[in-house]
A and B are shown apart, each in its own frame.
Chain A
Amino acid sequence: MNEKTDYRDVNENPCHMCMPMGGILPIKGIEGGMVVIHGSQGCSTYMRRYISEHFSEPIDVGSSSLNEKGTVYGGEKNLKQALDNIRKVYNPKLIGVLTTCLAETIGEDINRIADDYLKERNLNNDLVIIPVSTPGYGGTQAEGYFRTVREIVAGLAQPSPKHNKLNIIVPNISPADIREIKRILALMGVEYTLCPDFSDTLDRPYLEHYSKMAPGGTKLEDIRGMPGAVATIELGETVGDEYSPGRFLADNYGVPLYTLPIPIGVKNCDAFFNTIKKLTGKPLAESIKAERGRLLDAMVDSHKYNFAGRSTIFGEPELVYAVSQLCIENGVYPAVVATGGAGAKLTNLLRAVVAECPEPVAILTESDFCEILEQSRLHQVNIAIGHSEGRYLTEHGNIPLVRIGFPIHDRVGGQRLLAVGYTGTTLLLDRITNTLLENKYRTYRTDMYDLYYKENSGPPAAAEDEVIGDDGLYSL
């Protein structure tokens, strides 16, 4: 594919972000967790703005504010000062130190600096520092996310007596999704350690008194005990072994690892529940069976509308994989599936599932929105599914967008979007179906008029691009 080489020289309108961005989210999902970005001031500010606008939550993140001097002579002094000041104001239990392009390029040894700091300040029993190497040029936010979760688990895990909990590792899903997984597990009477849990910390209820550190998050004690769990379920099919927290627990403590896709879609939800049943012996609750039945009912109700959909699915690999499967299950066949990162694992997984599609599917890796738009036009896509940067496809390609994932900046409620489990899947599917319907009803009177009303027309005109997909043939 010669075309791909072009995109490697220049990225035109990014479909991915940088590693430290992804690293902030899981640290915010640890009880008493605070973040310091080791780099210049702007990195933390941009990321705070991005995260804050998505979740509508204050996002406090420290920076070592490296200046020219720090860049030339090393940033150790700055980083230690940052840790001091963060402790004074926030009194955290855990500080994640994330590197940036700058810190990595000047060769900062953050592991050593963190060790020295804890010794110098005599804090070994009171504070945990998790240094994570997240160079902005080293990968995408999705890789930064999982690498950080892995480092948190690796940094805290201790040999533990066996207990009956399950470890649940979640990717970058919404706080509402995390709450739904917790609801399901509680319904089934399953004990668990879910990590990272930003369901409360990044979606706080309004309270009379504001606290600088958001209540909630995975407890440090629970993470320490993860090696004693029955098994780990990691919702991370696309995650490389070197980034996988579950792989770490398996290799170092022998905790059996079950890697599953995000439970979106019937098949993926079934896999999730079957795995839990297999591991705990707990049967599916009756009320969840009913939720499954309602999803099937919704799928039947909407199947003809959905069959008119040709979708472009883009964003972080894990979500892209699950949403692609949902679309295939419902006949909203993907025509374009894209991610901004290298996505080697994603490509292999997708190849297996898109085999079901009646037409070839363009799988784009290291992609950008310019390419996604071109390919979507070429494949006559009529619905896009992904984060809010995809509004570019709507503005320039007239393709309606169903918003899911991170970030969602041009609508409220990104933190409340529910898509996992049978109920979440139903809600997401309804949004997809309704978007197709809305778009059809918006133009069908004029489309039909333009196509068939010939009384006043002159000589035949060439068909226009705009009516692509609406050829007047039978499609509901």
Chain B
Amino acid sequence: MSQTLAINERQDFITTKGRQKAHLKCDADSIAGCVSQRACVYCGARVVLNPITDAIHLVHGPIGCSAYTWDIRGSLTSGEELFRNSFSTDLKEQDVIFGGEKKLSAAIDKLAIKYNPKLIFIYSTCIVGVIGDDLEAVAKAAAKRYGIQVIPVQSSGFIGNKSAGYRAACDALFRLIEPADRTMVGKDKSINYLGDFNLAGEAWIIRDYFRQMGVTVNVVLTGDASSADLKKATRASLNIIQCAGSMHYLAGRMEETYGIPFMQVSFLGLHDTADSLRRVAAAIGDKEVLARTEALIDRELAVTAPVIEDYRRKLAGKKAAVYVGGGFKAISLIKQFRELGIEVVMIGTQTGRQEEYDTIHELASDGTVILDDANPSELEKFMTEQQADLLVGGVKERPLAYKLGKAFIDHNHDRKHPLSGYVGAINFAKEVYSTVCSPVWKYVRSGDEGCE
């Protein structure tokens, strides 16, 4: 790095491939005042559980937590739409003083009667963690009253970062999927697909690939899943995980408790998509499945590869900066950019795990800056120093990239087009092209030359 950082403590979280330490610090609390891009425990839990289509998501807390997460993800549904509402107990000062259990109970009553749901998640927020409302007791009583499932999600904001929220969501899911009949565990020759939230129909695209291969997807966690689908989750004989940050913990618990093995997949980019489909086929071990998988890959590549090649000719030599939520996405993006002839020169995540950073380090080319839990000033510094042409990130990062005159790729939860699979790879290339090669940069970069 050409200069030291303003905040010393951040030095441990950043490294340059080939020039500095191979390991960086990660999975730690954000440093106060560093303007971390991370969200909170509740947010982590909510984004994982939110796509469950027929669930009531009731936030026990002040209004903000609910307001900022209303219909937040572009998760699509083929069934109910209940999940697209945001319900809140809208706690007020007197609730904080006298406790909020009564209000929570009354809120559940109203919702249970009005919507007749099968499943209610109650999310704990910061103040609930402090005032000590007994969510378990309220949930238990309500479940009994209405004969439905009411599951508390222990997501008080201060107990950790977004990763702790993923774990809280996984704990809630683990309760939900507990089978009534243990004899059916692992009996189906189907797979569960973990860590796809069906943004812009991505889970549907991947499901269709498996259909063509002759592999049955039992349930997707949690994109377009209903509570009834999820209750059958333990019947599958294999779990495949895409978003490892959010689902690795659940997969581990399912293996431990139900003996269902898991494997890591990724459907971002041509290479990872083909590789993941082949590995799943190999795990199934059926010759016909293997043959159909190869046929599928050939069919899709015949259409996709020439399109990608065309974009590659237009984009080769550009440099990318990546700042995303989880490690799996970062790893895949390095490979996916290479398919387009683009090198990643800066890469970081909000919640990447040590082993993911090891892989990133291994994959990255020399001189690439790798950083965990970055902030705007670091993103600005390294994007500029590394002369990146574009940034991949979320909503908060977009205006910064644009102010710096950099192109930008929206790899967030709100996007309206799929980035998974072969069609996703084309969309991705098209998006990179549309932002890197837009005519606006010509005017922006020539500064004030145009006016006298």
Q: Are B131 and A12 in contact (CB under 8 A)?
A: no
Partner of B33, one of A83, A135, A137: A83
Q: Are B63 and A11 in contact (CB under 8 A)?
A: yes
Q: Are B103 and A39 in contact (CB under 8 A)?
A: no
Q: Are B85 and A16 in contact (CB under 8 A)?
A: no
Residue of A nearest to B107 (CB): A10
B291 → A minimal CB distance (Å)? 45
Q: Are B38 and A10 in contact (CB under 8 A)?
A: no
29 A-B pairs whose Cβ atoms sit less than 8 Å apart in the complex:
A8-B90, A9-B106, A10-B58, A11-B63, A12-B85, A13-B85, A17-B67, A36-B33, A40-B40, A40-B158, A42-B43, A46-B40, A49-B394, A52-B396, A58-B403, A60-B377, A63-B35, A63-B36, A67-B158, A67-B160, A83-B33, A85-B31, A88-B7, A89-B6, A89-B375, A101-B125, A105-B127, A138-B93, A210-B403
Q: Are B91 and A137 in contact (CB under 8 A)?
A: yes
For residue B444, CB closer than 8 A to chain A, the reply is: yes
Instruction: For B376, list chain A residues within 8 Å (CB).
Output: 58, 60, 212
- Cβ proximity bits B39-72 to A, threshold 8 Å, 1 near / 0 not: 1111100000000000000100111111111100
- Cβ proximity bits A87-98 to B, threshold 8 Å, 1 near / 0 not: 011000000000
Most buried by A among B39, B93, B159: B39
Residue of A nearest to B90 (CB): A11
For residue B110, CB closer than 8 A to chain A, the reply is: yes
Given contacts A12-B87, A42-B42, A88-B6, contact A63 B396 (CB under 8 A): no
A474 → B minimal CB distance (Å)? 38
Using a CB-CB cutoff of 8 Å, which residues 1-59 of chain B contact chain A? 6-7, 29-43, 58
Q: Are B33 and A81 in contact (CB under 8 A)?
A: yes
Q: How far is the CA of A437 from the CA of B6 in the complex (A)?
A: 56
Q: Are B64 and A43 in contact (CB under 8 A)?
A: yes
Instruction: For B66, list chain A residues within 8 Å (CB).
Output: 11, 14
Q: How far is the CA of A212 from the CA of B380 in the complex (A)?
A: 9
- Cβ proximity bits B81-97 to A, threshold 8 Å, 1 near / 0 not: 00001111111110110
Given contacts A43-B157, A49-B395, contact A13 B42 (CB under 8 A): no
Instruction: For A21, list chain B residues within 8 Å (CB).
Output: 64
Q: How far is the CA of A83 from the CA of B34 in the complex (A)?
A: 10
Q: Are A18 and B131 in contact (CB under 8 A)?
A: no
Instruction: For A49, list chain B residues within 8 Å (CB).
Output: 68, 394-396
B53 → A minimal CB distance (Å)? 16
For residue A275, CB closer than 8 A to chain B, the reply is: no
For residue A56, CB closer than 8 A to chain B, the reply is: yes
Partner of B447, one of A53, A59, A208, A340: A208
Using a CB-CB cutoff of 8 Å, which residues 282-304 of chain B contact chain A? none
- Cβ proximity bits B365-401 to A, threshold 8 Å, 1 near / 0 not: 0000000000111001000000000000011101110
B360 → A minimal CB distance (Å)? 23
Instruction: For B157, list chain A residues within 8 Å (CB).
Output: 39-43, 102
- Cβ proximity bits A426-442 to B, threshold 8 Å, 1 near / 0 not: 00000000000000000
Given contacts A9-B107, A10-B88, A12-B87, contact A68 B68 (CB under 8 A): no
Residue of B nearest to A45 (CB): B39
Instruction: For A56, list chain B residues within 8 Å (CB).
Output: 398-399, 402
Instruction: For B32, list chain A residues within 8 Å (CB).
Output: 62-65, 78-79, 81-82, 85
For residue B451, CB closer than 8 A to chain A, the reply is: no
Instruction: For B89, list chain A residues within 8 Å (CB).
Output: 9-11
Q: Are B6 and A136 in contact (CB under 8 A)?
A: no
Interface residues on A, range: 35 or more
Instruction: For A43, list chain B residues within 8 Å (CB).
Output: 40, 64, 157
For residue A466, CB closer than 8 A to chain B, the reply is: no
Instruction: For A64, list chain B residues within 8 Å (CB).
Output: 32-33
A20 → B minimal CB distance (Å)? 8
A365 → B minimal CB distance (Å)? 13
Partner of B395, one of A20, A52, A71: A52
Instruction: For A71, list chain B residues within 8 Å (CB).
Output: 129-130, 158
Q: How far is the CA of A41 from the CA of B38 in the complex (A)?
A: 7
Q: Are B39 and A42 in contact (CB under 8 A)?
A: yes
Partner of A14, one of B36, B43, B88, B444: B88
For residue A240, CB closer than 8 A to chain B, the reply is: no
For residue B161, CB closer than 8 A to chain A, the reply is: yes
Interface residues on B, range: 35 or more
Q: Are A17 and B377 in contact (CB under 8 A)?
A: no
Q: How far is the CA of A53 from the CA of B107 in the complex (A)?
A: 31
Q: How far is the CA of A43 from the CA of B158 in the complex (A)?
A: 10
For residue B126, CB closer than 8 A to chain A, the reply is: yes
Q: How far is the CA of A138 from the CA of B159 in the complex (A)?
A: 23
Q: How far is the CA of A14 from the CA of B86 in the complex (A)?
A: 7
Residue of B nearest to A78 (CB): B32
Q: Are B33 and A45 in contact (CB under 8 A)?
A: no
Residue of B nearest to A62 (CB): B33
B191 → A minimal CB distance (Å)? 33
Instruction: For A370, list chain B residues within 8 Å (CB).
Output: 85
A104 → B minimal CB distance (Å)? 8
- For the complex with contacts A49-B394, A52-B398, A89-B6, 12 further pairs of A-B residues with Cβ separation under 8 Å are A11-B66, A17-B63, A46-B39, A56-B402, A59-B399, A60-B376, A62-B35, A65-B32, A70-B158, A101-B61, A106-B130, A210-B403
Q: Are B403 and A13 in contact (CB under 8 A)?
A: no
For residue B141, CB closer than 8 A to chain A, the reply is: no
For residue A204, CB closer than 8 A to chain B, the reply is: yes
Residue of B nearest to A40 (CB): B157
Q: Are A84 and B87 in contact (CB under 8 A)?
A: no
Q: How far is the CA of A198 from the CA of B96 in the complex (A)?
A: 34
Instruction: For A65, list chain B residues within 8 Å (CB).
Output: 29-34, 36
A96 → B minimal CB distance (Å)? 14
B98 → A minimal CB distance (Å)? 12
Instruction: For A340, list chain B residues within 8 Å (CB).
Output: 63
Instruction: For B375, list chain A residues within 8 Å (CB).
Output: 89
Q: How far is the CA of A35 from the CA of B437 in the complex (A)?
A: 36
Q: Are B377 and A66 in contact (CB under 8 A)?
A: no
Instruction: For A59, list chain B residues within 8 Å (CB).
Output: 396, 399
For residue B404, CB closer than 8 A to chain A, the reply is: yes
A100 → B minimal CB distance (Å)? 7
For residue B228, CB closer than 8 A to chain A, the reply is: no
For residue B184, CB closer than 8 A to chain A, the reply is: no
For the complex of A and B, the 7 pairs showing the least CB-CB separation, nearest first, are A42-B40, A85-B33, A18-B64, A82-B33, A40-B157, A10-B107, A136-B62
For residue A57, CB closer than 8 A to chain B, the reply is: yes
Q: Are A136 and B64 in contact (CB under 8 A)?
A: yes
Instruction: For A136, list chain B residues within 8 Å (CB).
Output: 61-65, 127
A327 → B minimal CB distance (Å)? 25
Q: How far is the CA of A21 from the CA of B66 in the complex (A)?
A: 13
- Cβ proximity bits A12-48 to B, threshold 8 Å, 1 near / 0 not: 1110111011000000000000001001111111111
Residue of A nearest to B162 (CB): A42
For residue A190, CB closer than 8 A to chain B, the reply is: no
B157 → A minimal CB distance (Å)? 4
For residue B363, CB closer than 8 A to chain A, the reply is: no
Instruction: For B131, list chain A residues within 8 Å (CB).
Output: 105
For residue B111, CB closer than 8 A to chain A, the reply is: yes
